[in-house]
Amino acid sequence: MSALSELSHLKHRGPVTPEQRAARRKEASHDNKAGYLFLLPWLVGLFVFTLGPILASLYLSLTDYSLIQAPNFLGLDNYERMLTDDRLHQSLKVTLIYVGVGVPLQLALALGVAVLLNKGMRGLAFYRSVFYLPSMLGSSVAIALLWRQIFGTTGLVNQVLQLLGLDATTGYVSDPDYALWTLILLNVWTFGSPMVIFLAGLRQIPTMYYEAAALDGASRISQFARITMPLLSPIIFFNLVLQIINAFQAFTQAFVVSNGTGGPSDSTLFYTLYLYEQGFTRFDMGYASAMAWLLLAIIATFTAVNFLLAKFWVFYDD
């Protein structure tokens, strides 16, 4: 079971009688001491580095903390400032386009290739390695530098286009109309890791379903629509939730390709880039904290909506 299906199953426990509850409690506290001892490092990490900071940033978001002076309480001023901050709106727009276009494209490609690479085909291991490799290297600075060259004025893309006789001189990374799309393409290029998850899921579908369908004369397309899609839907869901969360966090590629500016003309100003700029180049940590909370709220909303919509299309057979 994936992390997500565990989460969504946690609440389905059903009613219990007081006696059952007492018995359960007794059993549940069997290894109390040992349990908390083994859990201790994680608990420290949770409170010091995760929950603590989340709560602290809620407080900081109501202040003007700048690391040098003690924080002044501002109330909701930072949040009000967000309403009129054009660059914040731009960063939201850029990020939403990146998530909204990049993730579906990436997942569609991952699913398509995974279905092509079906069980036991020749060369499976080779293809899987080739497709998986970019997703391992994709978040590195080296690849971002490569992208900067490839989509530059004299980059590989233009060289190839010129070879084909086209008069290609656009610098894609320095043109506000194209820059974001080069980053979306980079995200699509890393389709390998969701693909590996799809492959594992496809392997779980019993071959006999397809054999029975084929005997009944079902075409490959209807086999895909009626067997593969429903049985794979929990995994599509898992990939969707995870890749959306990942895409909201994209940072390195935009930072390197735009050399830290989010340019040209803020066309690659990802939300995380703007947050970094506010927090760590301007040291406006109050505003950055407010931005962090907005990000958390946005991601939580997206995830919650995903879970709600899942009822309509995700099929659990257990």
Partner 1 sequence: MTETIAGEIDAPRTPADHLRSLVKHAVLIAVSLLMIYPLLWMIVSSLRPTEVIFRAPGLWLNQLYVDNYAEGWFALSQAFDWYLVNSAIVVSGAIIGNLISCSLAAYAFARLKFRGRGLWFAIMLMTIMIPIHVIVVPQYILFNAFDMVNTFLPLVLPKFVATDAFFVFLMVQFIRGIPRELDEAATIDGAGHLRIFGQVLIPLMIPALATTAIFTFIWTWSDFFTPLIYLTSPDMYTVPVALRSFLDATSGSNWGAMFAMSIVSLIPMFLAFLFGQKFLVKGIATTGGK
Query: Interaction with partner 1 in 224-253: which residues (CB under 8 A)?
Result: 234-235, 238-239, 241-242, 245, 248-249, 251-252
Residue in 270, 269, 289, 271 with CA at minimum distance from that of residue 279: 289
Decide if residue 212 touches partner 1 (CB under 8 A). Answer: no
Cα separation, 46 vs 52, in Å, equals 8
Which amino acid is present at 129?
S
At its nearest, how many Å lie between partner 1 and the CB of residue 203?
Answer: 8
Is residue 274 within 8 Å of 262, Cβ to Cβ?
A: yes
- Residues in 261-300 that interact with partner 1 by CB under 8 A: 272, 275-276, 279-280, 285, 288-289, 292-293, 295-296, 299
How many residues lie near partner 1 (CB under 8 A)?
Answer: 108
Decide if residue 67 touches partner 1 (CB under 8 A). Answer: yes
Cα separation, 142 vs 152, in Å, equals 15
Q: In this complex, which beta carbon is closest to partner 1, that of residue 34 or of residue 308?
A: 34
Give the bridge partners for 73, in sequence order: 63
Decide if residue 72 touches partner 1 (CB under 8 A). Answer: no
Work out which of 16, 22, 76, 141 binds partner 1, going by CB under 8 A: 141
Decide if residue 131 touches partner 1 (CB under 8 A). Answer: yes
Segment contacting partner 1 by CB under 8 A, of 44-52, 77-85, 87-95, 307-315: 44-52
Maximum Cα–Cα distance for the chain, whole Å? 81
Work out which of 20, 22, 23, 31 binds partner 1, going by CB under 8 A: 31
Is residue 273 within 8 Å of 91, Cβ to Cβ?
A: yes
Q: Give me the long-range contacts of 130-138 (CB less than 8 A, separation at least 24).
A: 131/191, 131/192, 131/195, 132/192, 132/193, 132/195, 132/196, 133/192, 134/189, 134/190, 134/192, 135/190, 135/191, 135/192, 135/193, 136/192, 136/193, 138/186, 138/187, 138/189, 138/190, 138/253
Tokens of 4: 């997500």
Decide if residue 23 touches partner 1 (CB under 8 A). Answer: no
Identify the helix (H) or strand (E) that includes residue 214.
helix 207-215
Decide if residue 53 touches partner 1 (CB under 8 A). Answer: yes
Cα separation, 222 vs 203, in Å, equals 19
Q: In this complex, which beta carbon is closest to partner 1, that of residue 89 or of residue 119?
A: 119
Q: In this complex, which beta carbon is closest to partner 1, that of residue 29 or of residue 265?
A: 29
Cα separation, 266 vs 264, in Å, equals 5
Work out which of 22, 23, 133, 225 binds partner 1, going by CB under 8 A: 133
Tell me, residue by residue from 78 to 117, as one string, x for binding to partner 1 by CB under 8 A and - for no binding.
-----------------------------------x--xx
Decide if residue 56 touches partner 1 (CB under 8 A). Answer: yes
Q: In this complex, which beta carbon is closest to partner 1, that of residue 16 or of residue 296?
A: 296
Work out which of 82, 97, 196, 218 binds partner 1, going by CB under 8 A: 196
Decide if residue 146 touches partner 1 (CB under 8 A). Answer: yes
Length of the chain: 318
Decide if residue 222 touches partner 1 (CB under 8 A). Answer: no
Decide if residue 39 touches partner 1 (CB under 8 A). Answer: yes
Decide if residue 313 touches partner 1 (CB under 8 A). Answer: no
Tokens of 202: 């496809």
Decide if residue 308 touches partner 1 (CB under 8 A). Answer: no
Q: Rounded to the nearest 5 degrees, what angle is found at the Cα of 246, between the Cα atoms of 244 and 251?
A: 125
